[in-house]
Structures are given as C-alpha cells and as structure tokens.
C-alpha cells in the first residue's frame, strides 16, 4: 500500500504486514498502519458487550451519598439532568453527548460495519457512514468521566459516606469493553472494504509527497494526484487550508477563556447555610491540605499545567512553521502528537464538578452548585482541542519555499 506520512509527508510503500506487526514512518516514527489481521468478531463482541453495559448503567443507582442520616442517590442520566436544572444547559448537553450519546452512536455504527455492511451498502452511503464513524471518536470522553467520578469520590469521602451502585460497575465494564473495541478497529481495512486503494505509478518512495505533486487524503489516507480523493471523494489538500490562522484563532480564544476559568469559581459548596465559592486552584489546595496528594497533583496537572503548556507548545509550533526543518523537527512532531493526545484529559475537572453537583444535593445541610468558571473551562478545553486539530504538523517539515507553494494552492 502507498501512503504519505500524515506527520511529515514522506511517501511510503507499506509492505504486507503479518499479525501483530505495524508500520512506522522511518522519518518521524509516526504509526502508519497495523496488520490487516481480521479482528472483526472481537470488535463486534466487545461493542455488543459495551452497548449492553452502557444501557444497564442508565437505569440503576450510580452513586449514593449519605450525611447526617439523609441519603441522596443518583443515576447516570441525573448527572447531566441536574446541570440542566441549574440553567447550565451547555454543560448538561456536553456531558450527555460526550459520555452517553456519542459512545452509544459509535458502538451502534461499529457493529454493522464489522459485520460486512459496507459490502451491502451503496458506495455513497458507505462513504458517509465511515466518515461519520471516524469523526465521532475524538469527542467521546467516557474514560475521562470515569476518572472524574473517582476524583470526586476522593473529594467528598471525608465529608460523607459514599456507596457505588450497580450502574457504576456496569459503567466501568462499559469503559473497559469500549476501549478494547475501539483499539481493535482497523480503519484501513474498513476503507479497503469500501474501495480498493488506487495504485499510483511512478511515485518515488522516501521523497516528500508535496515535491511530487501528490497529496495524502486526510480522511482515508489514499495517495492522490487529483483534486478529489479517488477513494472517499473528499477534497484533497497538500496542507490543511489556513492551518496556522485557524490554530491561532482557536488558541487565542482558549487563552481568553483560561483567565476567567481560573478567576471565577467553578463551584459553590453550601454547608449549614454557608456558601463557599471554590476556584480551580482553590480546589487543588483543599485536596492538598486534606492529604490527597496524588489526586491534588492529577487535578493540578490536568486543569492548570496542561492547558497552559498546551497553549505555549502550540504557539511555539505555529512559530516554528516559519523556520526550515532541522534536527529537532522530529521532536516537535512528537510533542505535537502528545499535545493532541492529552487534550481531552483536561476535562476531568468539569466531570468532577458535574458529579458533585448531581450528587451533593442535601439542601442547606450540604449542597454543591456549579459556577460560571466551569463554562469557561469547558470552552477553553474545546477550543484547545480544535486548535490542535487545525494545526498541520507537516508544515513543520516544509521549507519556507514549499510553504509558499502550498499557500498558493490553497487559495485557488
């Protein structure tokens, strides 16, 4: 199979891979392809189990919380529903979609796709279905939500008795099956079922695609020399159009949200009639003072350090694009990949607030309400994810002359 590395644009001929082998780019070490070994039956079995576990986690008690003889029990959909009651529709919708709606949709699509649906569907439908399926994955945050639940339990353990319900354990099983199923999906195999890759003669391996007038489709990886991908009919670009401008715009928005996210309270705790606001840093300090050092460190890293580091790294990379590639470019590519990977883990704190708000509702005795800081924080994380997504790492490997060609082409 021919392809161009999505990180450095080197044209590569991938040989046939046997089971458990994978191909990496010799230039920048990006993972390119895994063996086409058939794992369809395990994907279907795991997805089916994941759906059943997710469904069963919706109807039984998820967590319960008791203090001074009063017990509050919540189900999983309550976590989002209670946020709706506080006029926090944006957060409620975000949580519902990212932890229940999207995973359910993705699993419901994965199963028929791995049972050979692509061979039965007309080409146009199959193409759309594959595109939608692969676009969903980055927005699913079930595993992060689970960590958020654990963190919030540590936060309130000292104040009250906590009990995990049946639904909590089903949700844990769902996350395990979901992660196992999605890591087994072989995207190239599915694209191949839609249409065999088209072989382009006279390519020079180990030369960059842009120098040969070739482009790798950003959706299916097919190497093309046409305006539209020959396999999935997406418009092809040698570089993401206006990549740096888009990344910079999202980045500026995220930095603008970072300030209010840290200044305004993310939640209010009412205890015996006293309302105490707490900010991101305040929450970390309380955890530290109570002796939960590992959790305090995780939250500090995820909510304070990572967003700041991400903004700095992405601005640095946007600047480095103007310089020719050098010996460090390989490391910059790796840093970019890491930034993209850890992006959504910053959401832990939002889920912690959601769980606490849903669970701790004992009126004046003790209750937690969400603060405006959470909305800014969520917006900031989403903007950073979009900034990382908009940035094209191949630009780092371009010489400024190539960059000009790419720019001219995108303007056409």
Q: Which residues bind Zn ion (CB under 5 A)?
A: 5, 7-8, 25, 27-28, 30, 217, 219-220, 222, 229, 231-232, 234
Q: How far is the CB of 343 from Zn ion (least distance, A)?
A: 21
Q: Which lies closer to Zn ion via its Cβ, residue 81 or residue 218?
A: 218
Q: How far is the CB of 124 from Zn ion (least distance, A)?
A: 14
Residue 130 in contact with residue 409, Cβ under 8 Å? no
Q: Distance (Å, rounded) from C-alpha 355 to C-alpha 334?
A: 34
SS3 label, residue 253: helix
Q: Given the structure tokens 């949200």, which residue do they identify?
A: 257
Q: CA separation (Å) from 18 to 1, 42, 111, 308, 323?
A: 14, 18, 25, 42, 39
SS3 label, residue 326: coil
Q: How far is the CB of 299 from Zn ion (least distance, A)?
A: 35
Q: Which lies closer to Zn ion via its Cβ, residue 238 or residue 374?
A: 238
Side-chain half-sphere exposure of 110, counting CA atoms within 13 A: 33
Q: Distance (Å, rounded) from C-alpha 226 to C-alpha 93?
A: 40
Q: Which residues pair with 133 in a beta bridge?
A: none
Q: Which lies closer to Zn ion via its Cβ, residue 27 or residue 155?
A: 27
Q: How far is the CB of 373 from Zn ion (least distance, A)?
A: 40
Q: How far is the CB of 202 from Zn ion (least distance, A)?
A: 20
Q: Which lies closer to Zn ion via its Cβ, residue 75 or residue 337?
A: 337
Q: Distance (Å, rounded) from C-alpha 181 to C-alpha 137?
A: 12
Q: How far is the CB of 25 from Zn ion (least distance, A)?
A: 3
Q: Which lies closer to Zn ion via its Cβ, residue 198 or residue 301?
A: 198
Q: How far is the CB of 192 from Zn ion (least distance, A)?
A: 12
Residue 205 in contact with residue 12, Cβ under 8 Å? yes
79: Cβ–Cβ under 8 A, 6 or more apart, which residues?
62, 95, 354, 355, 358
- φ, ψ at 395 (rounded to 5°): -60, -30
Q: Which lies closer to Zn ion via its Cβ, residue 254 or residue 333?
A: 333
Q: How far is the CB of 333 from Zn ion (least distance, A)?
A: 7
Q: Which lies closer to Zn ion via its Cβ, residue 234 or residue 315?
A: 234
Q: Which of 378, 383, 154, 164 is nearest to 283 (CA)?
A: 154
Q: Distance (Å, rounded) from C-alpha 112 to C-alpha 118?
A: 8
Q: Which lies closer to Zn ion via its Cβ, residue 72 or residue 222?
A: 222
Q: Which lies closer to Zn ion via its Cβ, residue 1 or residue 296?
A: 1
Question: How crowded is residue 330: how many other Cβ atoms within 10 Å of its Cβ?
Answer: 19
Q: CA separation (Å) from 411 to 217, 235, 250?
A: 18, 14, 21
Q: Distance (Å, rounded) from C-alpha 50 to C-alpha 187?
A: 20
Side-chain half-sphere exposure of 313, counting CA atoms within 13 A: 23
Q: How far is the CB of 30 from Zn ion (least distance, A)?
A: 5
What is the β-pairing status of strands 223-224 and 274-278?
unpaired
Q: Which lies closer to Zn ion via its Cβ, residue 217 or residue 357?
A: 217
Q: How far is the CB of 169 from Zn ion (least distance, A)?
A: 41
């Amino acid at each position: 199979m021919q392809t161009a590395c999505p990180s450095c644009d080197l044209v590569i001929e991938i040989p046939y891979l046997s089971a458990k082998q994978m191909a990496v780019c010799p230039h920048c070490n990006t993972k390119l392809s895994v063996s086409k070994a058939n794992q369809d039956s395990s994907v279907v079995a795991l997805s089916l189990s994941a759906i059943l576990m997710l469904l069963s986690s919706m109807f039984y008690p998820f967590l319960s919380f008791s203090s001074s003889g009063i017990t509050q029990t919540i189900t999983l959909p309550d976590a989002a529903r209670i946020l709706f009651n506080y006029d926090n529709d944006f957060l409620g919708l975000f949580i519902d979609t990212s932890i229940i709606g999207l995973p359910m949709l993705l699993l419901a699509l994965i199963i028929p796709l791995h049972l050979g649906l692509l061979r039965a569907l007309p080409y146009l439908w199959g193409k759309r279905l594959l595109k939608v399926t692969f676009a969903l994955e980055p927005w699913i945050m079930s595993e992060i939500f689970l960590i958020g639940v654990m963190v919030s339990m540590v936060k309130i353990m000292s104040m009250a008795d906590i009990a995990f319900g049946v639904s909590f354990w089903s949700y844990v099983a769902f996350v395990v099956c979901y992660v196992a199923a999605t890591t087994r999906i072989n995207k190239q195999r599915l694209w191949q079922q839609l249409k065999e890759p088209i072989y382009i003669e006279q390519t020079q391996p180990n030369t960059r695609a842009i120098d040969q007038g070739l482009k790798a489709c950003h959706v299916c990886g097919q190497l093309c020399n046409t305006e539209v991908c020959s396999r999935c009919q997406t418009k092809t670009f040698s570089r993401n159009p206006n990549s740096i401008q888009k990344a910079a715009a999202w980045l500026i928005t995220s930095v603008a949200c970072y300030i209010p996210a840290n200044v305004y309270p993310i939640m209010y705790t009412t205890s015996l009639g006293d309302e105490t606001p707490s900010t991101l840093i305040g929450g970390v300090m309380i955890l530290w003072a109570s002796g939960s050092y590992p959790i305090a460190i995780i939250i500090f890293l995820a909510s304070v350090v990572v967003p700041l580091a991400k903004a700095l790294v992405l601005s640095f990379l946007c600047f480095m694009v103007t310089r020719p590639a050098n010996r460090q470019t390989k490391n910059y590519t790796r840093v970019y990949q890491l930034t993209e990977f850890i992006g959504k883990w910053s959401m832990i704190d939002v889920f912690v607030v959601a769980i606490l708000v849903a669970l701790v509702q004992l009126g004046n005795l003790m209750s937690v309400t969400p603060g405006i800081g959470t909305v800014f924080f969520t917006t900031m994380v989403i903007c950073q994810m979009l900034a990382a997504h908009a940035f094209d790492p191949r630009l780092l490997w371009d010489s400024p002359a190539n960059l000009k060609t790419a720019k001219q082409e995108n303007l056409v």
